[in-house]
Structure 1
Amino acid sequence: MLPFPPHTTLEAFQVIFLLFAGHAVMDYPLQGEFLSICKNRHLLYKLQDPSRPVQIWPWCMTAHCLIHAAAVWAITGCFYLGLIEFVLHWIIDFAKCENRTTFVQDQALHFICKIAYVIAAMLYGS
């Protein structure tokens, strides 16, 4: 287990690598088609599928963001960073689902958050 907050630049890069890898696992294989579609109210509206009512989108978005928050908490050991990840991931993904950001902008924002967590921990952590 890597120390958190990291004490060296190498440890910081290692934690960032784990956060990026965790993000990739949570955003692709663990998200699945159901959450990918159902967290977006506009896709649900277009589908008109009675088994996927439009009203489930906030629950699906929340489930997806909780998965990401758990990964950040597990990697860093910091509950508060997990909570921050939950809120920021919700906002960033909501913006993408509303077509306010592109896929690349969405992913860049997620990666910037991960880097910011590590920098903040190094600067302000104990």
Structure 2
Amino acid sequence: MQETSSVAVVAALYLRKSGSGCKRTASQAGDRNGRPSGKAARRGRRSSNPSDRRDAKQSGPLRVYHLTAHSGIQGAGVAVVTGNMWLGLLEWLAHTTIDEAKVRGRTTFAQELALHIFCKAVWLACLVLFATLSPGASISLWWH
């Protein structure tokens, strides 16, 4: 039986992956991990450079839309969990403000995360406070 070296196995796998060893064309150009680089990245594909993504977050054409939608999803989650539409709207507003401050460089990642957690704690405290102080029907579907 013939013993195959590990180099031969790796070479065979590489040739199979890259299309029988032929050189890639300019349209297939990319780094070793398959991410676009050079012309491919400039043609609208996602860049692997973190500063390019930061610029797109700060000045991209759909920046406000994405921020509003992302924050709205967070607000809807709070509204569903708490059963209180007003807390959901407050979360939407707070989340938008916090994320906008992060994009503009006014807060760090850790500060942004702490503010998001603080907001959730405030919504929980409001829910508990209103539920214990209000007579009769509860303000939440889940709190009886």
For the aligned pair, the TM-score class normalised by the smaller chain equals 0.5 to 0.7
Distance, in Å, in 1 between the alignment partners of 2:61 and 2:79 is 29
Moved segments of 4+, more than 6 Å: none
> Tell me, which stretches of 5 or more residues in structure 1 are unaligned?
1-33, 35-40, 47-52
| TM-score, L = length of structure 2 | 0.51
Distance, in Å, in 2 between the alignment partners of 1:72 and 1:78 is 8
Which structure shows the bigger proportion of residues in helix conformation?
1
Alpha-carbon spacing, 1:80–1:45, altered in 2? closer, same or farther (3 Å): closer
Cα distance, 1:44 vs structure 2 = 1.3
User: What does residue 91 of structure 1 align with?
Assistant: 97
Alpha-carbon spacing, 1:45–1:102, altered in 2? closer, same or farther (3 Å): closer
C-alpha RMSD of matched pairs (Å): 2.4
- Which of 50, 62, 65 matches 1:56? 62
Cα distance, 1:120 vs structure 2 = 1.8
Q: How many residues align?
A: 81
Letter in 2 for 1:60: H
- Which of 94, 105, 108 matches 2:111? 105
Identity score, percent: 37
Higher relative CO (CA 8 A, sep ≥ 6), structure 1 or 2? 1
Alpha-carbon spacing, 1:91–1:60, altered in 2? closer, same or farther (3 Å): same
> Tell me, which stretches of 5 or more residues in structure 2 are unaligned?
1-45, 47-52, 135-144
Distance, in Å, in 1 between the alignment partners of 2:70 and 2:57 is 19
- Which of 12, 37, 43 matches 2:55? 43
Distance, in Å, in 2 between the alignment partners of 1:100 and 1:45 is 14
